[in-house]
């Protein structure tokens, strides 16, 4: 079952912050985050594993709360290069015996000058 992302779209000015949420109705063991620019392939951002960890990548960070079955992606002081569609992906299965990664419907982020 596809994870649910919110919001569907967000428009920012350069320097503003944004949060993108990813929720699942099933127990989560890990969450993947990818960004896709228009007409290009998705590019990997980060993976969060079970344990409630928070990771960072430049000014993009994420948290993972397995009890709430959700992850949030934080974009701080956004830059024009952050524009694109952000996808979260979650394993579709139980325990570690799965190799199916199911993606959400995406969040379109537009950063304006």
Partner 1 sequence: NAGVTQTPKFQVLKTGQSMTLQCAQDMNHNSMYWYRQDPGMGLRLIYYSASEGTTDKGEVPNGYNVSRLNKREFSLRLESAAPSQTSVYFCASRSSTYLYSNQPQHFGDGTRLSIL
Q: Which residues bind partner 1 (CB under 8 A)?
A: 2, 29-30, 32, 34, 40-44, 47, 49, 87, 89, 91, 93, 96-106
Minimum distance from residue 61 beta carbon to partner 1 (Å): 16
Tell me how far apart the alpha carbons of residues 113 and 103 are, in angstroms, rounded to a whole number. 30
Minimum distance from residue 89 beta carbon to partner 1 (Å): 8
Minimum distance from residue 16 beta carbon to partner 1 (Å): 25
Nearest to 109 by CA among 60, 52, 56, 49: 60
Phi, psi values for residue 86, rounded to 5°: -105, 130
Nearest to 52 by CA among 31, 33, 37: 31
What is the DSSP code (8-state) at residue 2? P
| Nearest CB to partner 1, comparing residues 16 and 108 | 108
| Nearest CB to partner 1, comparing residues 95 and 113 | 95
């Amino acid at each position: 079952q596809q994870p649910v992302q919110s919001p569907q779209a967000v428009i920012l000015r350069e320097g503003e912050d944004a949060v993108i949420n990813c929720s699942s109705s099933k127990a989560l063991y890990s969450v993947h985050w990818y960004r896709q620019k228009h007409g290009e392939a998705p590019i990997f951002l980060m993976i969060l594993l079970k344990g409630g960890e928070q990771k960072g990548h430049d000014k993009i960070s994420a948290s993972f709360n397995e009890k709430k079955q959700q992850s949030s992606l934080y974009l701080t002081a956004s830059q024009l290069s952050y524009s694109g569609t952000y996808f979260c992906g979650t394993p579709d299965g139980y325990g570690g015996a799965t190799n199916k990664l199911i993606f959400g419907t995406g969040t379109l982020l537009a950063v304006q000058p």
